[in-house]
């Protein structure tokens, strides 16, 4: 932590053990972002129509999502409503308790992950303006992505595009904040910065 607190510290000055640890954290975090995007796409569905259907209960579920295939093994037969038999299952909006549960969980995890990867990102060789832009973008996309389910549910399904947009922005910004530090800590340090970083460059 003392290294991160020093002015001029860069990731390529870390020891090999620390670089392995931080690289593993960044790569696993990136894979977590990708898996979240895939899970979200499978749970909600593609496009803003899926967002509106899942959170606000607006629209119709795909006919393939519910079927009337006979039970396996001679189990009991469940009678479905006529809407389901016609391939138009009833769509129910997400409950307040479910939204509160999901938001509660993510509010305790996403800020911590963002704090860690942003600290690593600050120790890269990017300019101050670029660092600020990416970090502000990540903060904004995280905040918006956590808020849009509530907006879609209670302010109108027409705001579903905001959830899809914030999801794309979140994936892009978190990918940058996790992948770029790994590249920065393992590449050869720039010659013009090696003498100004946390450790002096060895004499030839």
Separation of alpha carbons 41 and 47, rounded Å:
9
What pLDDT score was predicted for residue 197?
A: 47
- 156-189 pLDDT, tens digit per residue, is 888 888 988 998 999 999 999 999 999 988 887 7
Q: Three-state DSSP class for 107? A: helix
Distance CA 44, CA 111 (A): 24
Q: pLDDT-derived band of residue 60, with 50, 70 and 90 as boundaries?
A: low
- Rounded CA separation 202/204 (Å): 6
- Please tell me which residue, 25 or 62, carries the higher pLDDT value: 25
Q: 3-state DSSP call for residue 18?
A: helix
Classified as helix, coil or strand, 128 is: helix
pLDDT at 68 over 70: no
Please give the structure tokens belonging to residue 146.
């956590």
Instruction: Using alpha carbons, list the distances in angstroms from residue 151 to 4, 5, 56, 75, 186.
Output: 38, 39, 9, 42, 42
Residue 72 pLDDT > 80: no
* Statement: residue 193 has pLDDT above 70: no
Is this prediction's pTM over 0.75?
Answer: no
Which of 146, 134, 140 has its CA nearest to residue 176?
A: 134
Please state at what angle helix 160-186 crosses helix 16-44, rounded to 10 degrees.
160
Residue 50: both structure tokens together: 């899926």
């Amino acid at each position: 932590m003392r290294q991160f607190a020093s002015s001029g510290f860069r990731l390529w000055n870390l020891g090999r053990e620390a670089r392995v640890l931080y690289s593993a954290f960044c790569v696993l975090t990136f894979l977590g972002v990708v898996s979240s995007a895939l899970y979200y796409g499978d749970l909600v569905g593609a496009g803003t129509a899926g967002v509106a259907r899942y959170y606000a209960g607006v629209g119709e579920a795909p006919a393939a999502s519910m079927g009337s295939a006979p039970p396996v093994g001679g189990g009991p037969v469940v009678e479905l409503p006529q809407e389901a038999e016609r391939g138009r299952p009833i769509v129910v909006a997400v409950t307040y308790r479910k939204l509160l549960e999901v938001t509660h969980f993510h509010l305790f995890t996403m800020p911590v992950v963002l704090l860690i990867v942003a600290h690593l990102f600050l120790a890269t060789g990017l300019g101050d303006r670029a660092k600020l832009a990416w970090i502000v973008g990540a903060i904004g996309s995280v905040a918006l992505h956590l808020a849009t389910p509530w907006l879609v549910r209670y302010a109108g399904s027409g705001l579903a595009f905001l959830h899809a947009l914030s999801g794309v922005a979140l994936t892009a910004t978190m990918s940058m904040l996790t992948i770029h530090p790994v590249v920065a800590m393992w590449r050869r340090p720039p010659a013009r910065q090696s003498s100004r970083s946390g450790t002096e460059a060895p004499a030839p």
